[in-house]
Chain A
Amino acid sequence: MKLQRLHIALAIAFSCLLLASSCQESKGKLRLAQPNWMDNQYAQGFRLGTQDQDSFLLVFDPSNGDTLGQFQWGPQTYSGYTHLEARLRIASGSGVISGLMSALKSQDRIVAVDQRSYQPHLVQIREDLVQFSLGGSFNRDALIQSEPDLLLHYFFESGSRREIERLQPHIPVVWIQNYREKHPLAKSEWLRAVGFLLGRYSSADSLFAEIAHRYRELASRSLKPRPVFCNLPYSGTWAFPGGQSYLNTLIRDAGGLPIWPQSEGSESVILGIEEAAQLLEENPGALWIHPGDCPDWDCVVERAPRIMKQSAWLPSRMAQCDKGDFAGHVNRWYNEGGVRPDRLLSDLQHLTQDTAIEAEDLYFYRCLSPQP
């Protein structure tokens, strides 16, 4: 009986403690009124809002709309939002995120990156740039020691998301899932989100408006349709971008006709080599882009010998997206191309319309041709 009373007393004491701590937590926080939400043009993965002197950022997964984070900064604090104290020292989880920051001239704020060799231009700015990830290994200690105010990162699957979110007590994590946006301009519109977060919203907004205007102008041109083929076989399979994928949209907007089967989603379409070869046979004179990681024509011949020995199938033009890459580690097409889809589209239009003869006409692509 005594023991039972003791249990009840302990339970009451514990409940009181919980109540007290929750009161303590909510003390000083205000309920959220109605911030003025700004409309996005293309992006599905974020929402920006303001209320008085306070700013609000909601982050979603663009593929399913799940909320990934609610952030707020300014003089007030609000329940349900992570209040960001400072936004000066940034840890960048990918070259794409660094690319977004560089486009906003905020690269000097980056104090840590996933891999130094992927971002040599940042190492030049800051020699003590901390590296916190090598391949799949996440070095939490190195990241914490770099003392960032924020970690901007992405995730592919929930496992790595959970792993990184274990940092939350030390460093707020803002998920930048722009790679899941399907439209090229949606990826680029993340400039507005990053600019808003870094306090450079007006320049980010005007840069995006300029990019979007140029993209739409290029996409509205009347173009001669040109069959387009892409990638290289690997281990008996040939992967093509899905019908609704980012690359497919770019190709179509550039006047290209993807010759592989068009799926309804953005997931890759995987074909056998024979089926891929048949596509080339049926579409002579196609433009062949992104031939794997081959830097030259000979490499393509070596990787796809059964295709390349059929002279009738050889593409009229082959282009690789590695112009200006550094030591095989950095791909500008990924890092900068996502920010500047207008330049990507310009390159692809030059290629599909056969208008770029000189290398300087292209930002991200190089034409590959057989050795004389």
Chain B
Amino acid sequence: MMKPDIQENLVRRYLLGDLPESDTNELEIQILRDDEKFEEMWEIENRLVDGYVRGTLSASDQERFERHYQASPVHRQRVAVAKNLVEEADRSGAAVAHVSAKESSGARLFEKFNFSFLSWQFATVAAMLLFAVAGLWLFLDRSRLRHEQEQLRAESQSRQDREDALSQQLANAKAESQKLESEIERLRVERNGSVQPPTQPELTQRPTIYSLLLSPMLMRSSDSPQTARIPSQTDQVRLQMRVDQENARRFQVSVRTVEGRQVWEQQIKPRAGRATTSIISAQIPVSRLPVGDYILTLSAINSTGQPEEVNRYFFRVIGQ
């Protein structure tokens, strides 16, 4: 297999009519058999034509090209097409290259001043960031202060509203009070003109009771009779007796002086005491029991309504 440059040289000689007939025949058989060789040969032809158009052929090749290759009108037409094609391709490539060169020179300039440019860039970016952060902080702080100010203003307004409301309530209360005072005064004046109001002690005073539990065993003959020392402000004396008369429904209490004069008498219902006893309680105005010795006779009222004596009690009333 031939080397590429030898193959190209052979093809060029073929195309320029400088190849012996035997080699020409062999080359043509090769390209008829081998598709790849055919494609290579076609490209070598294009390269030869383009080289002629661009003026890159050697003088001898150029002379042979014009004498042999361009002898064919088809080849002349091909050369004309190639001339326009390479011009268009070079123009198109130059435009792209110009843009690329601009970008490349820009890139070189950038690389040359890369450090300083980056330094400036970083400094600028850092300054901008600093300003941005400071601005943001100021904005937030101002917003916060404005918010607090609004809150204080609202609280102040609320407090003022409450004060106003309380002042109004106080004024209303004062007015009501004055109205009531004047009403009371008017009523007092009206009342003073007719009936005196009762004094406070009289209105609230209750009767004072002196209690004494009597024992039936104590009689007039014993040495120490039951004594009732009744206070001076006592209103009534309550005399209480225990009895075992379970069936009695009513009792009769009769108080006489030892001389036989009846002081007080009353029928009384017993009050329940313990299981087998009852308490008879007789409440006697103190005015009926002046200082002296007394006999209390307790009688149970039987089923026929007649009193049956149960016990007698002896007691003495002395002063304070």
The yes or no verdict on A and B being binding partners is: no
